Every structure is written in structure tokens, then in C-alpha cells.
Structure 1
């Protein structure tokens, strides 16, 4: 492939571009599954026999986000150095390490805390992949199609979050899938112990990861865009790199942070983690609010990531037609109102079952609205970046902004434990207002310096 210019219809290989998109999207979906697998397991660790504190669980759920943010800084420079084929293949194989580890360690509650933290960190490889896959895919498409292409890849990839959280309850109940390992007893408050095969939640994805690696090695190619690490760092001299980083923190930082912590937050506010609702643990737990039905987190936790992921690829064609900046502006305004609506529900009223039910409904709908507007912003910002920067720089900026926003699960976990949910959400409103001003002044208004 000696000549590659997607902007030239005569030299652009559209079949190769779309094949690259679908293979890397399949692998990216598996990467998100590996990244968020801990979020589907950690809320149930104590029910499986572990005895971690709330703060320990928050830190454990935050660790994949910390790792992803750090690893994305590495993955962002890999596309021009390794090429798409080698990078996607190797990354997909690396996903197996943490996935296999979680499958082994949920089978008996004996793993030390540090070991689970290491597994949580390794899961961040799945998040790190994003900063390599997305810039690499952007090289294959003309600017007029990058909003749709990147939106499809990121949106479908983001569905990996919902897939792992939605399917885990079904996988763990299927003894026929348990080719390796035995069953476990999971004990929920006020209920009889349930027989589960929690290793299925991890092991079922490993064959697909092997298939993804084979597909990547046999079908992908690498476009001739080369740059060393020092050359790629020229993006940091451009003020728009920093503005777009802030905007992507508002959107994907919110999406990833809430996706990782949604289950724990729900459990600690309206479920088994709230001592004003449930006293004690295990089968002897006592309900303190009569008539209130404690929500089963796994029945709801996949909804938020699903809404955000679908919004990302559903709105991507609109960003190609209307531009990204206007939708980033809508995203910011929507986030302000959604967060403000949710804040009262972050302090549950435990005076009655009716009050708890009302609070839970407001919490759930508010969170889903936050996911919706963050998903819209995820699509629009990735349309903006290829319009603002030249091709190689755009790839680098996509990787860099994604790296910083991947710290979302880490900062969300730290923010909630340090400030409490109410203050942390209020900080989110202030941050979104700042991003609205940046978007309007720099990108969205008539006569803006960088219309996008």
C-alpha cells in the first residue's frame, strides 16, 4: 500500500476501510468487555464470600479506569509505529490475561486484596486499546465519513460495557457453560443462597478474543502513516488539543466513570450497601424499611452504558450532516440539567418504602439521562477532532483525549469516596458549564475560530 489518500476517491480503498472498521470494532467490543468485566463482578464479591469494605470495593472498581488512562498514553502512539494489523492482534491477545484471572479468582473467596487489584489494573488494557484502535481507524476514512465511522466503532465498542453487565446474570446461572471449575454459593440479604457459576462471566469471552486476534492478523493491513513518539507530541503545542481534552472528559469521562461505578453507587444508595435499609449481611440480613423491595443491581446496571453507547452511534450520522460542535453544545446543556435532576436522589429518604421507591426512580431516570447526553457528546467530539486537526495530528489528539477521559472510572470512584456523591455531582455541573462556554466561544457560534 504505497499510495493512500482517503480524500482522493481514485486511491481510497473503501472495501479495505470498511473491513478494517468491522474487524477492529469487533476487537474493540471485546476490549471494552475485558475493561468492564470487573464492574460486573465487584458488586457481588461480598455476596460470593469476600469481606471487603465499601472503600475497598470503590477503589477496586476505580482501578481499571486508572490503568486505562495510563495505558492509553502508550497505545495512542502505537498506530504510526506498529501499524493497525500488529497492534490490534497483540492487544486482543493481551485481553485474555485479566479475563482469565477474574474467572479463576471468583471461584473461591480466598484471593488477597492486592491480587484482585492487580487483575483490575490488567483489565485496563481493554480501555487502553481505545486510544490505539480509534486513531488507527481514522486513517482509513475521508473526513466526510469519519463522524459515522468513528461513531460506529466507538458506539458498538461501548456496547461491550452493556453486554458484559447484561449477560453476566445469565451466564453465571448456566451450569452447562461451566466447563472449568465448580459452582459457588451467592448469598443476598433476606434470601436463600443461590448456586452460581461466576467463572462463566469471564471464561465465555476468551474464545471470542482468540477469534478476534486471528481475524486481525489475517485480514487487516496498515496504512503508510509513520511517526515516532517525539513527532507525535507536537499536538501539545496546539491549544485546541487542550480544549478538546476538556470536552471529552465531560463526555466520555462521564460515560466511563458512571459505567464503572453505576452498580456500586446504586447498591450503596438504594440497595444492600445502605445500612439504613439493610442491617447485617448474608441470609440473616434484616430489612429496616418494611415493604421496600431492594433492587437487584444486575437488572439495571447495563441500561446506562447501553443508552450511552446507542446514542453514540445513532447520533454520529447527524454530526456528519450538521457538524459536531452544535451537538457537543447540546450534550453539555443536557448534562447540566440531568445532573441537577439526579442530585436530590443521591440522598435517599429512608422514612418509608414509598419514599425510597420514588427516590430510586428519580435516581435511575436521572442517571439514564446523563448517559444519554454523554453518549451524544462522545459522538460529536469525535466528529470535531478530524475537522480541527490535520490527519496525523487528529489521530494523536483522538488518542490523547481518550487517554485522559479514560481516567473517568478512577476519578469518579475517588470523587464519590472523598466528597460524597452530592458534592461530586455538583462539581460535575460546574465542569459542564465551563465546557459549554468553551464549545460556544471556540467551535459552535457564528464566526467561531474553529467551526467544527
Structure 2
């Protein structure tokens, strides 16, 4: 599809070569900032691409986190893995997903948003079909499971390319809403996979309203469902999405942001917010199972069954993300981020306090689960507050990133000049590139958190979990201090190059 093709007189040899390689559904005339064009043509096209982008990204997040729930079922279907091994299976997709976010961001201008959505959706067949093969054979070696779990990280890269693609479709005044909907739709994939997978595989779910399957648990069912949805997403992108010929940016120019200290400061803070969200989301099913449930008597055991509650954390974190953006618009991104880290410190300590009351649960003694069960409401309530704070922090940090680059452009130029206009345009491009880098680094937290809970150097799983929460609390204190020192403190003399005290 080409709305208005570039005229032959305007085509350079380079653009002619690019057009020669194109195969349909390219839009070369795209002017979202012009009200008439947007009202007559752009809005409808952008909305259509947004809808199918949300679907593909949502599916990517679901596949990314499929191991977060399924790992808790592996022991029930005949696999003999230690808690450390299970947490490793949960962590590996997050590591690969974080590493793929940057190349996925760069792929959109290179190949086209529609084309890359097709490719990234089709690639989800690798982890889903591999999953279906592995879980049906109890003799599958652990290293094979690790390899297949790592390929689930392909779904984690979808967020970066999806956000980069939709960013090109919308005018500046509407980017916030569009990107917010795109991000929230993807994040909800974490909650829905944790909500529906137990039902699909016959392991029960929906607070016990659905009974466990009489034929036992069949984990491969979930793989077949999501493999089918990956095919649907690929075909939907082919038939309903578009490439933008105007979405051009050179990787070398985009990667200039890695030289700026602000990129790494914000990446550090994003590890604390999004890294915590995705890491806790991945680990929560196992945390509930290991500490509040024992498998006797079969089939559902005694204590708190993780499948009824594991999805709530990701749901709360997803819903509160737009709230963080709204609060940041009203009060300033740095202030909201600081408050979010303060809440994370307090409620992480509260979660740790509930764990201190539990009896270690390494056996099949139902009395242990019964004793621990009374503390579960406190554990869940405090943990959901942690999730809420991570969601708010996700929204506020994303608000801070473009504000930082805009402030630096305004600080170094004179209002009303051509130099100011050029600087603001460059700042917008750099902020977009920075979001890709920051998102990639921040997602590494999704790997570090499950690894900290597994702590293979600690023999007792309960001790490893408690130690992990102590480390996380200290990290959030450091994040809060960095936020205040860099963006909020008001020294007697603020240097011209400083961002402190500007209320970003």
C-alpha cells in the first residue's frame, strides 16, 4: 500500500534502490503533524496499525513469560528439578529478551514496521513449538529445557520494535496515549498467560471455579494455542499493517545516545522499575508454590495454590503503569519516580517481614502449608503494593526520558530561533533512541531477580529468598538516592550543565 509515492524526480539513486526492494504496503507520504492529513487519512491508518501492533506485542509478552507459570507445573508432570533449576528456567527468557530489545528497535527503520511485525510474530513459533516438544518427554535433558526457555526471549524483543513502530505513526500530541495503550496491551500479556495457562493445561484456575483436568496436566496444550495465535498475528500483520517509508533513522546516529551519562542513569533507574516488574512477575508463581503449598494430598495439594493468585501481580503492575504517566504529567516525573522507589522500599521490607514468619517448606508435610497459609494474605497484599509501585515507576520514568532531552535542548538554545527548533527535533529523535537502550538495559532486571531467588550458592531456598529481598531493598534505596541527587536536589549553585532542581 502506497498512499503517495515519491515522484520520479524526487527519487535519488539510493531511494530508487530501496523502492526496488520493496514488496507492497509501503506508505511513502506520511504527514501526521498536518491536521488535515491526519483527520482525513492518517488517523484511521494509524489506529489500524496500533490495534494489530497491540495484538502482536501482547502475544510476544505472553510467550516471553510462558515459563513463569509452566515451570511451576513441571514437577507435577514428572520432571525432577530443584528450585534453583526452576528459577533458572524462569530467568533465561528475560535475559535473552533484554538483549534483543536494542536490535529489535533498530530493525523497524531497516525492514519496515509491518515486515518486522510479521517476522517477529513468526519467530514465536520457535519457543512455542520447542516448548510443546520438550514438556511431553520427561527424559528431556535440562540443558535442552534451558535452550528452549532462552528462545522465549524472542517475545521480549517485540516490545521494543512495537513501540518504535507505533512512535512513527502518531503526531507528537497523540504519542503518549498511543504508546501508553501499546505498552499496557503488551504488559497485560504477562497477567493473562498466568491467568489462562493453568486452565488451558488442565491444572485448574480462576480461583478454583475450573477443576483440574481428569486426564492430568498437559502443558503442551498451551504451546499449541500460542503457536496458533503466532500464525494469526503473522497473517494479521501481512493483511492489515503498513510500512512507513518515512520511518528512517540510521543506527549509528541512534546509538550516539550511549555516550550520554543520562542514558545510563535512567537505565539504572529502569532496572529498578521495569526490571522489578518483569522479574517479580516471572518469579511470583514459584515463590507462592515453594512457600505456601505442598503437593499432598493430590491432585491440588494443601495450602495456597499458585494458579489462583500468580496473575494478580502482573495485572496490578500493568494497570498502574498509565497512572504513573498521569501522575508524572501532573507532579513531575522525578517526584513520582522518587515516591515509587520509596514505596518499593517500604513494601519490599513488608514482604520480607511476612517471609520471616513462615516455616521453611522443603517437605510434603501438609501441616507446614497450613501454618504458612495464614500469612499468605499479608504476603499477597504487600507484594501487590510492590507491583503497583513498579507500574507507577514504569510510567513516570518513561515520562522523564523525553523531558530530560528536551530540557537539555532548551537549556543550550535561545527561544524562538531556528537553532532551538532544530535542537528540539534532534532531542526527540535521541529520546526515542534512548528509550530503546534504556528499555534493553532495564529488562535485565527480569533476569537478575529470579537468579537472586534461586541463589545456587545458598542451600536453603527460604534463606535465598530472604537474602534476595534484602538486596532488592538496598538497591531501591540507592535508586531513590540517585533520583533525588540527579534530578530533584536544589544545591546553592546549580551548574549550567546540571539537571538537578529542574523538576523533570
TM-score (structure 2 length as normaliser):
0.77
Structure 2 residue 314 is the aligned partner of structure 1 residue 305? yes
Deviations 1:237-272 (A, max 9, x none): 222211211121111100010011111122222223
Say if 1:7 and 1:321 are closer, same or farther in 2 by CA, change over 3 A: farther
Q: Distance in 2 between matches of 1:4 and 1:387?
A: 26
Q: Distance in 1 between matches of 2:88 and 2:203?
A: 30
| 1:248–1:378 Cα contact (<8 Å) kept | yes
Cα distance in 2 for residues equivalent to 1:156 and 1:86: 21
Q: Structure 1 residues 6 and 197, CA, compared in 2 at 3 Å: closer, same or farther?
A: same
Distance 1:5 1:266 in 2: 51
| Alpha-carbon contact 1:261-1:409 (below 8 Å) kept | no
- In the alignment, structure 1 residue 206 sits paired with structure 2 residue 227: yes
- Once residues 172 and 479 of structure 2 are traced to their aligned partners in structure 1, the CA distance between those partners, rounded to angstroms, is 24
For the structure 1 residues 284 and 331, does the alpha-carbon distance in structure 2 shift closer, same or farther, using more than 3 Å as the test?
closer
The answer (yes or no) to whether the contact 1:143–1:387 under 8 Å persists in 2 is no
Aligned twin of 1:93 = 122
RMSD: 2.8
Residues 214-229 of structure 1 mapped to structure 2, 5 A cutoff:
214-223=235-244, 224-229=246-251
Whether the aligned pair in 2 keeps the contact of 1:150 and 1:382 (CA below 8 Å) is no
Higher relative contact order (CA 8 A, sep 6+): 1
Equivalent in 347, 351, 358 of residue 349 of structure 1: 358
User: Following the alignment from structure 2 to structure 1, what is the Cα–Cα distance between the partners of residues 44 and 488?
Assistant: 34
Q: Which residue of 2 aligns with 1:239?
A: 261
- Report the Cα distance in structure 1 between the residues aligned to 2:173 and 2:330, rounded to whole angstroms: 9
Q: Give the equivalent residue in structure 2 for 1:328.
A: 337
Does residue 416 in structure 1 map to residue 453 in structure 2? yes
Quick check: 1:269–1:347 contact (8 Å CA) kept in 2?
A: no
Question: 2:386 matched to which residue of 1?
Answer: 370
| Alpha-carbon spacing, 1:321–1:142, altered in 2? closer, same or farther (3 Å) | farther
The counterpart of 1:146, out of the listed 155, 167, 175, is 175
Aligned CA distance change for structure 1 residues 329 and 142 (closer, same or farther; 3 Å): farther
The question of whether the paired residues in 1 share the 8 Å contact of 2:77 and 2:217 is answered with no
Mapped contact 1:155–1:311 kept (Cα < 8 A) = no
Change (3 A) 1:133 1:323: farther
**After the TM superposition, which of the residue ranges 157-166 and 381-390 deviates more from structure 2?**
381-390
| CA displacement at 1:60 relative to structure 2 | 1.1
Distance in 1 separating the partners of 2:449 and 2:370: 29
Q: Name the counterpart of 1:155.
A: 184
Alignment of 1:393-432 (within 5 A): 393-418=430-455, 420-432=464-476
Q: Residues 139 and 391 of structure 1 are in contact (CA less than 8 Å); yes or no, is this contact kept in structure 2?
A: no
Contact 1:68 1:127 in 2 (8 A): yes
Q: Please give the alpha-carbon distance, in whole angstroms, between the structure 1 residues aligned to 2:475 and 2:52.
A: 36
Q: Counterparts of 1:51-450 in structure 2 under 5 Å? A: 51-173=80-202, 195-223=216-244, 224-272=246-294, 293-350=302-359, 356-389=372-405, 390-418=427-455, 420-443=464-487, 448=500
CA shift in 2, pair 1:250/1:144, >3 Å = farther
CA shift for structure 1 position 353: 6.7
Structure 1: unaligned runs, 5 residues or longer = 176-185, 188-192, 273-277, 288-292
2:495 is matched with: none
Q: Give distance in 2, aligned partners of 1:386 and 1:316.
A: 12
Structure whose CA Rg is larger: 2
What's the CA shift string for 1:191-237, capped at 9, x where partnerless? xx862332222211222222211222222223323233322210112
Q: Is the 8 A contact 2:58 2:187 kept in 1?
A: yes
Relative to 1, partners in 2 of residues 1:42 and 1:303: Cα closer, same or farther, differing over 3 Å?
same
Determine the C-alpha separation between the residues in 2 that align with 1:443 and 1:302: 34
Q: Is the 8 A contact 1:84 1:222 kept in 2?
A: yes
Q: 1:205 to 1:313 in 2, by over 3 A?
A: farther
Question: How far 1:34 moved relative to its partner?
Answer: 0.6
Deviations 1:143-169 (Å, cap 9, x if unpaired)?
443332222211121111111111112
1:23 pairs with 28, 40, 52, which one?
Answer: 52
Q: Deviations over 1:333-362 (max 9, x none)?
A: 211111111111223433977752333222
Is contact 1:97-1:122 (8 Å) kept? Answer: yes
State the aligned residue count.
Answer: 424
Once residues 169 and 326 of structure 2 are traced to their aligned partners in structure 1, the CA distance between those partners, rounded to angstroms, is 17
Q: Which runs of 5+ in 2 are unaligned?
A: 1-26, 205-211, 360-366, 406-426, 459-463, 491-498
Instruction: Quote the residue 1:9 is aligned against.
Output: 35
- In the superposition, relative to structure 1, how do residues 120 and 284 fare at CA in structure 2: closer, same or farther (>3 Å)? closer
